[in-house]
Amino acid sequence: MTHKTGTRYSPEERKVAGKTLRTKVPRASHGVWQPTPNRPDPIALLEQQSANRIPELVPIRYGRMLESPFAFYRGSAVVMAADLAPTPVNGIRVQACGDCHLLNFGGYGTPERNLIFDLNDFDETLPAPWEWDVKRLAASFVVAGRRIGISEKNCLQATHEAMRHYREHMAEFAEMKTLEVWYARLDAKDIIARSRSDAVRKRREKAAARARTRTVEHAFPRLTALVKGDRKIIDEPPLIYHPKRHARFDEDVRRLFKSYRETLPEDRRVLLDRYHLTDIAIKVVGVGSVGTRCAVVLMLASGNDPLLLQLKEGNASVLEPYAGKSVYKNHGQRIVTGQRLMQSASDIFLGWTRSVQGQDYYFRQLRDMKASATLEGYSASDFIEYAELCGWALARAHAKAGDAALISGYLGKADSFDIALGDFAVAYADQTEKDHAALATAVKKGRLQVHAEKKL
């Protein structure tokens, strides 16, 4: 039986087919992590990835990664991709996130202005084994939990709960009709209603209210100022700045913007055309993306009617050497399509483009009620409940663009897979701490240069 979706086989038949895969790849086999004898040097992988990035920004990347093992983990998807490649897989593929750690989930606004919780970073998305996303998510709870002082027991419980919710919700999606899966979403109202205590409910209500203020109207007065009568983006080097050769930079981005516009549906072009491009500045983002070419684009329909777009460079996915090349020639298109496939609702301004030099990019809104978890101050119960939400969201993403019945049949009703992933997560967290120590050694010996940022 083929493992592709859309076959003539019933969900029950596909579940049986998934269950038979346990003979080939036992669920317990996923619990083992052991570096291969020829494991690539993680620092060399980071150096190779940095070779095509803006040189003056690369020290910021290393400086951020040096902060903690979890910061290293966030910035080293390329390392884990190489580590996951030789691990057991059962042959079922999905549209994978590629960088599926716990802070790449969060809240954002739908086109209908509802606040939902979902995956929100897709720079590495590619069709790939479903296990790779699940393992990166599982290990992130142990690495991050140790960072914020969660006990080892509770880190492991968070991992188990994330995997249990992935498994149980995948079983639910396997029973749903196709369109029901496509329309499923985790709304902020649902999350608040599921709160297990008044304290948790109030905290979630406060977080949702704060997210609803994170809009372009809120960011506009803080990111921009009037300069000789014109609205400009405020420089905050080295994180936001207008480059020295600004005229050429401006011309290049305007050319990119013109071709990006052509990738939007006709109705979105009409909407976009109500704005005029006013200013452009380089903006440093994230941990893993530091050094890639990113910019913020200020657009105005009138003096007090702004739109902020983000231009981000799209490079080959870190999964590509192990999962195969993308069917899309433009990596911006790969990212946009993967995001639309995995999310329950996506930004209306998503589109892609390519520079005359052959570099790929994509556009999206800069602020759209986007909110990420603030792990500092999380109690063990907060951490575990957050893990449950991530497991649910990842299951929905994989079910939407994959075969829920096949995956559910493989996972089964018992907690065998959950336990195995907990073992993997602890072992890989230990590996991450060793890799972070190797980064510190490379910096100490002068192999890598770092830039320590001011705490704002």
Alpha helices in 85-213 (DSSP H): 130-147, 152-175, 178-183, 188-193, 198-213
pLDDT digits (tens, 9 = 90+) for 298-356: 999 988 899 999 999 999 999 999 999 999 999 999 999 999 999 999 999 999 999 99
Give the residue carrying structure tokens 């951020």: 64
pLDDT digits (tens, 9 = 90+) for 228-263: 889 999 999 888 999 888 788 999 999 999 999 999
Please state, as a whole number, how many other Cβ atoms lie within 10 Å of the Cβ of residue 197.
10
Rounding to the nearest 10 degrees, give the CA dihedral for residues 164, 170, 174, 178: 160
Q: What Cα–Cα distance (Å) separates residue 188 from each residue in 54, 245, 358, 417?
A: 38, 44, 40, 29
Q: How confident is the model at residue 364 (pLDDT cuts 50, 70, 90)?
A: very high
Instruction: Measure the N-to-C terminal CA separation of the chain; round to a whole number of Å.
Output: 56
pLDDT digits (tens, 9 = 90+) for 132-163: 999 999 999 999 999 999 999 999 999 999 99
Rounding to the nearest 10 degrees, give the CA dihedral for residues 10, 324, 350, 70: 100
Alpha helices in 187-245 (DSSP H): 188-193, 198-213, 216-223
Q: What CA–CA distance (Å, rounded) separates 176 from 178?
A: 6
Spell out where 32-125 has E strands. Answer: 93-96, 105-109, 115-119
Token pair of 36 as six digits: 């291969």
What pLDDT is attached to residue 103? 96
Give the residue carrying structure tokens 């089964």: 412
Q: What is the DSSP letter of 103?
A: G
pLDDT digits (tens, 9 = 90+) for 371-405: 788 888 889 999 999 999 999 999 999 999 899 99
State the chain's mean pLDDT as an integer: 92
What pLDDT is attached to residue 7? 55
